[in-house]
Amino acid sequence: MSSNMFSRLFGAKSRDAATTETTLSTLEKLNETLEMLEKKEQLLMKKATAEVEKAKEFTRAKNKRAAIQCLKRKRLYEQQVEQVGNFQLRIHDQIIMLDSAKATTETVAALRSGASAMKAMQKATNIDDVDKTMDEINEQTDNLRQIQEALATPVGATDFDEDELEAELEELEGAELEEQLLQPFTTAPTAPIHVPEGKLPARPTPQKNSEEDELAALQAEMAL
């Protein structure tokens, strides 16, 4: 934080603190004055009541002059009571205004503090820093992905020619077919013939297949 910003922030705080202290001191003084005026009002009202009582006594004593003097003093006390009441109204008005001003000042100070904090954060985090940070994050993510792909590759794995693999597979299929063709031909077993008991047919004499028969059978199988 620069010295100018430091002085502005803490200077503003000092001014706000001084203003708040002055406002509180003034409010305290006004409340003390208001309390003093209320006591004075009560005292004046008592004096006015006492003058009325004196006037009654002088009236009973047929001292009209003294009774009138008591009533005059009572009027003076009443005028002072009215004046004190006006003073109290002014004090109340000042207290209300200062309370309102104090709330306004505190609100403005809070808003100013928030604006200063927001400004400081914006200076600490500008758009260039954000872009740079995002680029670093993307770069680290790409590096991590490449490392994971490298670790997932089997050890010793190489690329093979697909055409060569297809040719080798065709050779295997051809060899398998040739092996099947060279196997001796066997006919399916015939179902047994039921012969009635006591009439067994004569057993045929077994004959060997000649090479011509085997060749003919092989050709027939290939034709299928």
Provide mean pLDDT across the span 41-59.
94
Does residue 146 register a pLDDT over 90? Answer: no
Mean pLDDT of 192-217: 57
Least confident range from 40-49, 109-118, 171-180: namely: 171-180
Mean pLDDT, the chain, whole residue set: 78
Q: Look up the CATH architecture of domain 3-120.
A: Orthogonal Bundle (1.10)
Six-digit token pair at 59?
């009236």
> Over 70: is that where the pLDDT of 189 sits?
no
Residue 31 has a pLDDT of: 92
Query: For 2-6, 33-37, 120-124, which range has the lowest pLDDT when averaged over its residues?
Result: 2-6
By mean pLDDT, which of 74-83, 170-179, 181-190, 194-203 is the weakest? 194-203
